[in-house]
Amino acid sequence: MPATVEQPQSVRERVQDVINLIRPSVQADGGDIELVDVTAGGVVPIRFHGACHGWPSSTMTLHMGIERTLREKVSEVTQVVPVP
């Protein structure tokens, strides 16, 4: 029986995996985040939902938590931006 060769994950898949790790802490505060896209330049647009949408501290959460974590775990990520 031939050995199964796993294909490397795409950047988008790796970003989604990290977002899935972050999601429970965001949901604990009554919100959620959605991965919208990952551009060729490493920009990651995300959308806030629930309590996070329009929350004044969401920008700090984005930059201090989400962006920092994504950049640490997925080297191709250059920036995370919120989209409506």
User: What's the average model confidence in pLDDT over 16-42?
Assistant: 91
Q: 0.85 cut: is pTM over it? A: no
Three-state secondary structure readout of 28-73: HCCEEEEECCCCCCCEEEEEEEECCCCCCCHHHHHHHHHHHHHHHH
Q: How far apart are the first and last CA of the chain?
A: 50
Residue-wise pLDDT for 50-68, tens only, equals: 865 555 565 666 667 889 9
User: So what CATH class is 11-82?
Assistant: alpha beta
Residue carrying structure tokens 């950047």: 11
What is the per-residue pLDDT for 60? 60
User: Over pLDDT 70: what percentage of the chain?
Assistant: 75
User: Residue 27: which pLDDT band, with cuts at 50, 70 and 90?
Assistant: confident
Give the pLDDT of residue 3: 60
